[in-house]
Chains A and B, each alone.
Chain A
Amino acid sequence: MAKPKIAFYWCASCGGCEEAIIDLHEDILKVAELIDIVFWPCAMDFKTEDVKNMQDNEITVCFINGAIRTSEQEEMSKLLRKKSQLIVSFGACSQLGGIPGLANFWDRESIFASSYGGKCPSVDNPDGVVPQEVSEVPEGELYLPRFHNTVKTTDQVIDVDYYLPGCSPAPYLTMQAITTILSGDLPTKGTVLAPNKALCEVCSRNDSKPEKLSIDKINRVSLVEVDPEKCFLAQGIICMGPVTRSGCNGENDGRCIAANMPCRGCYGHPSEVHDVGAKMVAALASVVGLEDEEDMSEADVQKLLDQIVDPAGTFYRFSLAKSYFRRKIMTDSKEEK
C-alpha cells in the first residue's frame, strides 16, 4: 500500500510554525517512515507546478500555517484544498489570523503608506517606490501577488477539517494529531486538536485567586514586580488564561505562565466562546472594581478601565481576523468583502 502523503505549507507567518515541525526532532523520523512528505517549500525544493500536477485528493493531509494576506496565499490554499483529503489549519495565524491579523486595523493603503512612505525607520526607500502588481521591465512583465486589504484566516478562504492552535502549536499536540489522523480514527470535522478547558484549569496559580476576584488597579508586567506564585489577574495584570485553551505545555503551567508572564491567548478560545475579545472584556468588566462597585461613579469606572493600555491589541492579539468585527470598517468599500 502506498504511504500516506503529507504536505506542509506556509502563508502569512513568521516561520515559527515551521520551526515547530522541526521541533518534532526524532519523532518526525518515526512518522517519516510511515509517510511521504510530498510538499514542504520551507524545507525542501518543490514547485507549485508539482502540486498542480497531482491528482485531486492525492495528498492525505496538508498542514497550512499562516494567515491569508495575499492573492498568492489564497490561490495556494485553494489549490491545496483541491489536492488534499484533509486540511489542518496549523497555528494561531491560520486559525485566528494571529499577529498578522492585527493589520486589519488598517488597510492596504495605510499599510503601504506606513511601510513605503518613509514612516518606517528600517525601510530605506528615498524614491517612495510602492510595490506594483505588474511591473514593466526590459525582459517583459513581472507580477507580484496582490496585497489584500483584509487578513483572513484559512477557514475564511477554504474549508478546513481540523485546527491545531498555538503560536506555535506544541510539538506533542502535532504528533498526537498526525498519529490520530494516520490511525484513520478521525475526530468530528471542525475539531480543535487541543484540550477544550481554559488555561486556569492547569494553572498552579489558580488557587491563589481570591474567592471574590475584584481588580481595583490594572498593572503591567513591565511596571510592577510580579509575584511568581500569584494569579496574574489577582495582581491586576491582564492574563488571557481564562479565555484561552490549555495545552500549550501539557498538564503543566502555560508556557508563558511558567516564564512568569501572563497568558497572551495564542491557543485561542474554548469551543463555546464566539469572540475572544468580547468574552474577555465582559469577564474583566464583571470583576473590575467589583468590591467597591456601589461606591464608584461612572468617572471612577472609566478611570480604572482607562488603565488598560491597547485594549484591542490585548484582547484580540491573536484573534482579530476571526472576531465578530474582523476588521476596521472600510469607509469606501474598496475590494473584497
Chain B
Amino acid sequence: MKKIGVFICHCGINIKDTVDVDRLTEELADYPGVAYIENYMFMCSDPGQNHIKDAIHERKLDGVVVAACSPTLHESTFQTVLKESGLNEYQMEIANIREQCSWVHTDIEQATHKAKLIIKTAIEKLKLNESLYPVSAPVTKKALVIGGGIAGIQAALDIADAGFQVIMVEKKPSIGGHMIQLSETFPTLDCSQCILTPKMVALSKHKNIKLYVNSEVESIDGYVGNFNVKIKQEALYVDPAKCNLCDDCTEVCPVLVPSEQDEGLSWRKAIYIPFPQAIPATYTLDVENCLGLEPIACGKCREKCIAEAINYDATDTIIEEEVGAVILATGFDLYPVENIPEYGYGKYPDVITSLQFERILSATGPTGGEIYRPSDGKVPKEIVFVQCSGSRDPEHHLSYCSKICCMYTLKHAKLYKHKVHNGQPYIFYIDIRAGGKRYEEFVQQAVSEEGILYIRGKVAKIYKEGDKMIVIGMDTLSNKKIEVKADLVVLAMGIVPSEGSHDLVKRLKINTDDKGFLSEAHPKLRPVESLQAGFYLAGTSQGPRDIPDSVSQASGAAAKALILLSSDKIYHSPIIASVDEDLCSGCAICVGTCPYGARELNEVSKVVEVNEILCEGCGACISACPSGAAQQKNLTDDQIDNMIKIIASGK
C-alpha cells in the first residue's frame, strides 16, 4: 500500500478556529495508509513546504494529502513540493477543509468531523492515483483577433509589435468600431478620430498583420495553440488593389441607404466608403441594397469606374488560417431603444440616441459638428439628457450599470455648452458614477462652471407638444413630478454585447455570462482569459467599459496571448479521459457527447480513441459510457466510489 503523509494546515486561524486540528491529527494517525501526519500553522509557507519535503525523504512517502484551502489556490505550490522531492506531482491531493469546511461552519464538533471525512476521501482518492505526465503539443505562432474596434486594434498591434503574425477579422467594411463614430472623448476631450486613426493606419501598414474586413469567422476547430479557423469573406465586388478612391461610383449610384456611420442621420449610396479615413481605404458594394449586380438592372458604377475595379461576378470566399491564440474583441451595441416605447424614439425625430448625438457633435458628422436638431434643423436651446436609458432597471430592462453613460452624457452636455453658449442642458440621473482617473474633477468642473442642471430622477414619458418635447419625470430628491420642455432629448442608452458577439459565441460555443457578455475565467484573477483555453477577451465584449479600460484590457489579453505564442510547446493537464480497450464495446454513445470533438471511433479496432490534447477532462463521455470503459484519469469510478463510501458511512 502507498505510504501517505497527511499535512493539516491551520491557515492561521482560518481553519484552526473551527476545526480541531490536533484531534484530527490524532484520530487520523491510524487510518489505513497514513504513514505520517502533522499539523502546522501555514503549510504553504516556506517552512511549511519544508516540513512536507523532510517527511517525504525521512518517511519515504509515496504520496501526500494536504488538508488546507481550495486547490485553485495552492495546488501548484504543493505539486511543486512533490516534484522537488522527486515524487510525481499527481501523487498529491488537496483536502479542502477551509472553503468547504471551516469557512462555512461554526460548530467545532461538526466541522472537525466533516474535515475528517474530507481528508479521508482525499486519502482514498490518492491511494488509486496514477503518476501522470503533462500532455504536450506544438504551438502555431500566430494570433487571430476578432473585431476591429479599439480593443481589437490595440491587441493586434501589441502582438504584431512583439513579432508575431496577426489575422484580424472585422465584420464591417472598416475597422474602427464605435470609437470612430465618437466626437471627443471624456475626460480629456481629445478628438476621438484624431487619436484612433493613427492606430488604424499603423495596423493597415503593419507587416505582421493581415486584415479581413466584411468577414466573419465561421468556425474554429482544433485546440489551444493549434486552431484551424475558417473565415468567410464577403465577395470583393470592388478590388481594393485597383480602386483609386476617386468616388465616381457613388456619384452615379442611384440608391440611397441610411448611413451606419452616422446612425441613420445621413444617407450613403449602395456603393460607398463608410467614412473618409476607412481602413482598408476602399469602397464596398452593398449587395443587399444594390439594384442587382447586372448591367441590365443598373450597372452604372461599373460603367463609370475607369480603374475597372468593379467586378459583379465576385463571390464569397472561405479562407482558412491556422492560429495558436484567439482574441475576442467583438464589442458592444446600444440597448435597443425600441424596448422603451414611452420615450417616443422613432415617433419623434427630436428624441435621439447618444450615439446619434455623438455624430451630431462630430466634425465629420451629418451637420459638420454644428448642433441642429433633426426635425427642423433648429439649434436646440434646451436639451434633456436621460441617463440610464435601459440601464439599472432590472424589472423592465438591463439590471446592470452600463458604466460609461454618466461620463459620456456629461461630455455631451459640455460639448453642447461649448457650441451653444446660451443653451440649457438638463440631465436626468439616478447617481453620478465617476470612478475613473480625473473623472470626478471632470464632473465638478462641469457642474460649477458650465451651468448644467442635474435632476435626480427617472423619466417616465416623453411626448411632443407644439415643437417642444415634454419630458415627464419624478424628482426623487423632492419627490415631486417634474416636467421639462426641451427642443431635443438625448437618450443615454445602456450597452449590451454586440449582435456580432452573440452570433459568434453561438457558433464557437464560447461561455458568456447571463447578460451575454463573454465570461472571464476568474472575475478577479483571470479577467482577460476565457474559460476556453487559448481564447482571450478584450474590450466591451466582456462588459461595459470606456476606452482607456478597453485599451488596457486589450494589452492584457495580448500579453496573455503572447505568453502562449512565445512558448515552443503547450502543456495540458493529464487529468483527461482514457478508454480501456479491453472494455470498450465501440457502442459510440460517448462520441457525440464530447463538446470538444476529442473522441473518435477507430473503424478498424472498433474501439474509441481520445485525442489527448483536445480533451479538456470535462467528464461528459465518462458519465455517458455505459460499460465503464471510459474513465477519467485519477478520478475513476473506483476512486469516486471509494470516496462516496467514506461520506455515506459518515465515519
Known: A283-B626, A286-B623. A270 touches B583 (CB 8 A): yes
Q: Using an 8 Å CB-CB cutoff, how does the interface string of A170-213 with B read, 1 for contact, 0 for none?
A: 00000000000000000000000000111111000010011111
> With a CB–CB cut-off of 8 A, which chain A residues contact B641?
274
- Cβ of A166 within 8 Å of any chain B Cβ, yes or no, is no
Per the bound structure, the CA–CA distance linking A280 and B627 in Å amounts to 9
Q: Tell me the number of A-to-B contacts counted with CB atoms below 8 Å.
A: 96
We find that the number of chain A residues with CB closer than 8 angstroms to chain B is 32
Residue of B586, B626, B628 contacting most chain A CB atoms (<10 Å): B626
Distance in Å: Cβ of A290 to nearest Cβ of chain B: 6
Binds A, one of B93-101, B375-383, B486-494, B587-595: B587-595
Q: Contact between A272 and B637 (Cβ–Cβ < 8 Å)?
A: yes
- The reply to whether A243 and B626 form a contact with Cβ atoms under 8 Å apart is yes
CB within 8 A of A196: which of B583, B593, B624?
B583
Please tell me if B584 contacts chain A, counting CB pairs below 8 Å.
Answer: yes
- Between A201, A211, A285, the greatest number of chain B beta carbons within 10 A of the residue's beta carbon is seen for A201
Say yes or no: A206 contacts B588, CB within 8 Å: yes
Report chain B residues within 8 Å CB of A283: 589, 623-626
Measured between C-beta atoms, what is the minimum distance from A292 to chain B in Å?
A: 13
Within 8 A of B (CB), among A252-292: 269-274, 279-280, 282-283, 285-287, 290
- A243 close to B623 (CB less than 8 A): no
CA distance A285 to B589 in the complex (A): 11
Does A198 contact B627, Cβ atoms closer than 8 Å?
yes
Closest to B580 in A: A272
Chain B contact residues, CB within 8 Å of chain A: 580, 582-593, 606, 620, 623-629, 631, 637-638, 641
| Given A197-B627, A273-B628, A283-B625: A211 touches B592 (CB 8 Å cut-off) | yes
Interface set of A (CB-CB < 8 Å, partner B): 196-201, 206, 209-214, 233, 241-243, 246, 269-274, 279-280, 282-283, 285-287, 290
Decide if A271 touches B628 in the complex (CB within 8 Å).
Answer: yes
Residues on the A chain within 8 Å of B620, using CB: 286
| Known contacts A197-B584, A279-B628, then 17 further A-B pairs from the complex at CB < 8 Å, ordered by chain A residue | A198-B585, A198-B627, A206-B586, A214-B592, A242-B626, A270-B583, A270-B629, A271-B583, A272-B627, A279-B626, A282-B626, A283-B624, A283-B626, A286-B593, A287-B589, A287-B592, A290-B593
Chain A residues, CB < 8 A from B585: 197-201, 242, 246, 270
Q: Please, could you name 6 A-B residue pairs with CB atoms under 8 Å apart, sorted by A?
A: A197-B583, A197-B627, A211-B588, A213-B588, A271-B628, A273-B628
The closest CB in chain B to the CB of A273 belongs to B628
Known: A198-B585, A206-B586. A243 touches B627 (CB 8 A): yes
Contact A287 B624 (CB under 8 A): yes
Q: Which residues of A contact B638 (CB under 8 A)?
A: 272
Q: Which 7 A-B pairs have the closest CB atoms?
A: A272-B628, A212-B592, A286-B624, A198-B585, A200-B587, A243-B626, A201-B585
**Which one of B592, B624, B626, B637 contacts A198 once the chains associate, using CB atoms below 8 Å?**
B626
Q: B583–A272 contact, CB under 8 A?
A: yes
CB-CB nearest in chain B for A210: B592
- Provide the bound-state CA to CA distance between A270 and B580, in Å: 12
C-alpha gap A198/B590 in the complex (Å):
14
Cα distance A241–B586 when bound, in Å? Answer: 11
Q: Are A242 and B589 in contact (CB under 8 A)?
A: yes
In the assembly, what is the distance between CA of A121 and CA of B1, in Å?
A: 59
On whether the beta carbons of A280 and B626 are closer than 8 Å, the reply is yes
Q: Which residue of A lies closest to B601 (CB)?
A: A211
